[in-house]
């Protein structure tokens, strides 16, 4: 028992001595050797690729997604009683202003016009005959007032009867295309606004977009705009309306671009992309990948200031051009780091080489 205890104590003591030797006696490793060499000879500067930028006026474009919308839409309704007896148009037909759309049953309207015409002629003849007697002094002058009142009443009755007769014939209010129509035989109730047909005006056509308050400042009425439809069509137009009141739900402003559409090739309600040129602003063109964030969270680019020192320049985006960005805030002639910008920090010393050389050596 005593021998086994001595052996156990010896094993424990040996283990403790082995562990302590790692802390008391230093051992050379690959990392320590690299650190010693770095301290002795200094760390090698990081290599970055740079591209020299030029600031020039850039004609930016405001591009938004929207839809087309017919300039005018109307539902033609019956303004008098009767039955729809004749429909002279069909769906999809083009009509001119004043063309007859539909005809309602007469319902004695023509007879009322004839009656009102007879009364008008009678009152007119009486008024002209007695006016001569009044001028000759055969009748009192007060009689002229009564005769004129009767004549004007008959004239108003004829006008009312004629208007009621004309309400039985529905006409196109302007040039357009019929989009829907009622069936012959349907009742058109008096003053109920029963729909008879629907029509739209496709010329001009509108391209409608919603613009945020931040992008509204550069727009003005009369600006040219390019419109690309989802079906591949292209058209040029001009801004004709800019809303002064924002939408309560989206806080955006309605902008309308007027397009010529005499042939009706542009349909109503199709998705459209509207591009409006803005006033040129000084900007520099840099690769999208060159943009980075500073330690404080600002968007910008890193440049090589002087010969070897890294600096950060905050920027503002002027326009997104797919692979490249047009940005403002970069000094003219600055050397922007386009490769390796995320591996260096402000104030660090680097070796800057042109981007073309860096790409060639990488290959």
Full DSSP string of 187-222 = EE-TTTT-EEEEEEEEEEEEEEEEEETTSSTT--TT
pLDDT given for residue 185 in this prediction: 67
Give, as one character, the DSSP assignment of residue 335. Answer: E
pLDDT given for residue 270 in this prediction: 93
CA angle, 181 then 184 then 188, to 5°? 80
Give, as one character, the DSSP assignment of residue 225. Answer: E
Buried b (16+ CB within 10 A) or exposed e, 37-56: eeeeeeeeeeebbbbebebe
Nearest Cα residue to 54 out of 315, 327, 323: 327
Structure tokens at 129: 């005959």
What is d(CA 239, CA 264) in angstroms, rounded to the nearest whole number?
20
What is d(CA 305, CA 298) in angstroms, rounded to the nearest whole number?
19
pLDDT given for residue 359 in this prediction: 36
pLDDT given for residue 27 in this prediction: 47
The list of the chain residues with pLDDT below 50 reads 1, 23-41, 190-191, 357-363
Phi first, then psi: what are they for 78, rounded to 5°? -80, 135
pLDDT given for residue 36 in this prediction: 42
pLDDT given for residue 361 in this prediction: 34
What is d(CA 179, CA 263) in angstroms, rounded to the nearest whole number?
16
Three-state DSSP class for 271? strand
pLDDT given for residue 4 in this prediction: 63
Whole-prediction pTM: 0.59
Burial class, 172, CB count within 10 angstroms (exposed 0-12 / middle 13-18 / buried 19+): buried
pLDDT given for residue 300 in this prediction: 92
Phi first, then psi: what are they for 99, rounded to 5°? -65, 145
pLDDT given for residue 43 in this prediction: 63
What is d(CA 257, CA 102) in angstroms, rounded to the nearest whole number?
34
pLDDT given for residue 1 in this prediction: 46
What is d(CA 61, CA 329) in angstroms, rounded to the nearest whole number?
19
What is d(CA 290, CA 286) in angstroms, rounded to the nearest whole number?
7
pLDDT given for residue 66 in this prediction: 93
Q: Could you tell me how far CA 29 lies from the centroid of its own chain?
A: 65
């Amino acid at each position: 028992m005593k021998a086994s205890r001595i052996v156990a104590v010896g094993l424990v003591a040996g283990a403790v001595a082995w562990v302590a030797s790692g802390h008391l006696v230093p051992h050379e490793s690959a990392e320590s050797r690299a650190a010693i060499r770095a301290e002795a000879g200094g760390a090698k500067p990081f290599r970055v690729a740079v591209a020299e930028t030029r600031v020039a006026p850039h004609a930016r474009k405001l591009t938004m997604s929207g839809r087309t919308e017919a300039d005018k839409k109307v539902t033609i309704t019956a303004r008098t009683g009767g039955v729809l007896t004749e429909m002279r148009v069909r769906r999809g037909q083009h009509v001119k202003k004043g063309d007859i759309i539909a005809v309602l049953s007469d319902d004695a309207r023509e007879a009322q016009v004839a009656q009102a015409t007879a009364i008008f002629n009678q009152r007119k003849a009486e008024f002209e005959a007695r006016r001569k007697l009044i001028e000759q002094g055969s009748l009192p002058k007060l009689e002229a007032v009564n005769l004129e009142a009767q004549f004007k009443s008959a004239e108003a009755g004829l006008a009312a009867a004629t208007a009621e007769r004309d309400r039985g014939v529905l006409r196109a209010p302007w040039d357009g295309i019929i989009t829907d129509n009622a069936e012959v035989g349907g009742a058109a109730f008096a003053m109920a606004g029963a729909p008879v047909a629907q029509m739209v005006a496709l010329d001009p056509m509108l391209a409608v977009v919603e613009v945020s308050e931040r992008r509204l400042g550069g727009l003005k009425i009369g600006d040219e705009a390019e419109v690309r439809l989802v079906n591949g069509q292209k058209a040029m137009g001009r801004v004709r309306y800019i809303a002064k009141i924002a939408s309560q739900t989206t806080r955006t402003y309605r902008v309308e671009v007027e397009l010529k559409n005499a042939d009706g090739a542009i349909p109503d309600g199709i998705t459209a992309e509207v591009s409006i040129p803005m006033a040129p602003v000084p900007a520099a063109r840099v690769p999208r990948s060159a943009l980075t964030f500073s330690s404080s969270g600002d968007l910008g680019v890193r440049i090589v200031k002087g010969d070897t020192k890294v600096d950060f320049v905050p920027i503002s985006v002027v326009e997104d051009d797919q692979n490249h960005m047009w940005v403002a805030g970069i000094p003219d002639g600055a050397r922007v780091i386009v490769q390796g910008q995320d591996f260096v920090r402000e104030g660090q010393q680097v070796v800057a080489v042109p981007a073309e050389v860096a790409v060639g050596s990488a290959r």
